[in-house]
Amino acid sequence: MKRTALVAVALFVLVAAFFAWGDMRNSIREATSWTGTVVTQGEISAIYWVSNHTRMYEPVVYDIFGGETMMALTLRTPPVGGDWAVSPHATQNMGNATAFYETDSAQEAAAIMKQFGAKYAIVPKTRDVHAGWKWLRAFSQKFDETLFFTKVFENADALVVAVK
C-alpha cells in the first residue's frame, strides 16, 4: 500500500474513533437518567406531604416517574404517566407538563397548573424530570415569584408549590 493510502486510512480510523467516543459519551449521559434512581427519598416525603394535604384523585403536577409513584402511593392524579390508553389529551398534557418545568416564566407555569386543575405541583430539585418529550432540569427560580406561587413544602430533593 502506498504511503498516502496508509495515511488516509489512519486518518479515517482516527476520525471514526473520535466520533465513536463522542457518541459513546453522549449515549452514557442520555442513559444515566433512565438507569439511575429516578424518584428520590426526598420526593417520597413530598409525595406524602401532598397525600396529607389533598383529597383523593386531586390533580397534582408532577413528571412521569414521580407522578406514577405518587399515583401508586396516594391515588393523586398527575397530568402525565399512568394508563396512557385512557388518558385524555396525552400528547397535549406532555407538552404542557414539559413547558411547566422548562419555562422560566412564573406566570406561564401558574397558568399551566390552572389548566390542569391543579393547586399543587412537585418539583424535583436534584434530578432531571421527564414529562413526556425529553429529560430536562426543572427551572426552579420561577417558584420564588410570590405573586404566583407559595412554597408549602421543601427538602433537599423536592419542592411542593401551591399556585395562587
Q: Which of 9-23, 39-53, 140-154 bottoms out in mean pLDDT, i.e. has the lowest?
A: 9-23
Q: Where are the alpha helices (DSSP H) in the chain?
A: 3-35, 41-53, 64-74, 90-102, 106-116
Residue 20: pLDDT over 80:
no
The residue among 47 and 6 whose pLDDT is bigger is: 47
- Please state, in angstroms and rounded to a whole number, the distance separating the CA atoms of residues 105 and 143: 9
Global pTM reads: 0.79
pLDDT of residue 54: 96
With CA atoms as reference, report the closest residue to 138 among 55, 63, 30. Answer: 63
Q: Which of 15-19, 53-57, 112-116, 133-137 bottoms out in mean pLDDT, i.e. has the lowest?
A: 15-19
- Please state, in angstroms and rounded to a whole number, the distance separating the CA atoms of residues 72 and 94: 20
**What is the pLDDT of the chain when averaged over all its residues?**
87
pLDDT of residue 112: 97
